[in-house]
Amino acid sequence: MKRMKHPNKKASEMSLKELASYIDYSVLKPEFTEDQIVELTKDGVELGCATICINPGYMELCKPYVEGSETKLCPVCDFPFGTSSTESKVAQAKILVDHYADVIGELDIVANFGWIRSGKYDAVTQDIKAVVDVCHEKNIPVKVIFETDALNEEQVRKACHCAMDAKADFVKTSTGFLTGFEAHGATPEIIKIMQEEVQDVCKVKGSGCIRTREHFLQLIDMGIDRMGVGYKSVPVVLDLKR
């Protein structure tokens, strides 16, 4: 099974810095003002989060605030639907990695989950691989979002193999922007399913509905690699007195 980040330590025994290193601080709401985006980016850097997850148009805005820190930027690609053409996804990814490779930790791409639901697994693999290839040229790891709340267990398991075949670095549960389905996000059950499929081939990122410290610590103890946490929940999961 997967190698845990801190195999000899329970999450409840970890330092604030160790816990923050599991977090992609989500700053993705389209209604955020530039001032809000800067404020949240600075907060994530101060806490020592792994990355700040942002929309591509704000790379230039946020870049100065992560430079010289351990925190990187994590732009999202074809977010939140994943339904653009492969060429469009590749173009967006290429612009990002060509201009900002020095500050990008990873790039998060949305799989075409309509194709996953349609059983078009070969097409899904090729779509992901085209983006992975562009990013890997610049040594940028890629996380693939499946939108698991729209999928059944078989579809999630097969999607994991699409990501592995495409040489992606992470599989990820959710965008946080799905409508028309019940929101469960990164449940322990879905994380376990993804871990079972990818073993040591890919890392696993949970996102969506991680709003309590108990849930956050439980996923770490399960061996999760990363979590996307929204700005309101970051102080809760880290037990910050704000």
Q: Which residues are catalytic?
A: 108, 172, 205
188: Cα within 13 Å, side-chain hemisphere: 10
Length of the chain in residues, anyone?
242
End-to-end Cα, the chain, rounded Å: 38
Instruction: State both tokens at 87.
Output: 């060429």
Give dist(CA 173, CA 201) in Å, integer: 16
Are 216 and 186 in contact, with CB atoms under 8 Å apart? no
Give dist(CA 29, CA 107) in Å, integer: 17
87 exposed, middle or buried (CB, 10 Å; 0-12, 13-18, 19+)? exposed
Are 19 and 49 in contact, with CB atoms under 8 Å apart? no
What residue type is 28 in one-letter code? L
Instruction: State both tokens at 24.
Output: 């992609």
